[in-house]
Amino acid sequence: MATVKLGFVRHGQTQWNLEGRLQGSSNIPLNDTGRAQAREAVAVLAAGVEGAGAWDAIVSSPLDRARETAQIIADGLGIELGPSYPLLAERDYGQAEGVVEAEALERWPGKIGGGIESLESVVARGRAAIEQIMADYPGKNVAVICHGTIIRYTLSDIAGWQLDAIRNGSVALLGQDAQGALELELVNDRVPSAPDASPSR
Is 185 assigned a catalytic role?
no
Among 187, 174, 147, 143, CA closest to 42: 143
CB 85 within 8 A of CB 61: yes
- CA dist 14 and 7 (Å) reads 21
Catalytic entry in 11, 68, 97, 147: 11
Among 167, 146, 29, 141, CA closest to 87: 146
- CA dist 97 and 36 (Å) reads 25
Among 172, 142, 157, 155, CA closest to 5: 142
Is 11 assigned a catalytic role?
yes
Catalytic entry in 19, 40, 50, 90: 90
Q: Is the dihedral of CA 50, 144, 67, 131 positive or negative?
A: positive
SS3 state of residue 115:
coil
Torsions phi, psi for 100 (to 5 deg): -60, 135
- Give every CB contact of residue 185 below 8 A, 6+ residues apart in sequence: 2, 5, 48, 173, 174, 175, 191, 192
Active site residues: 11, 90
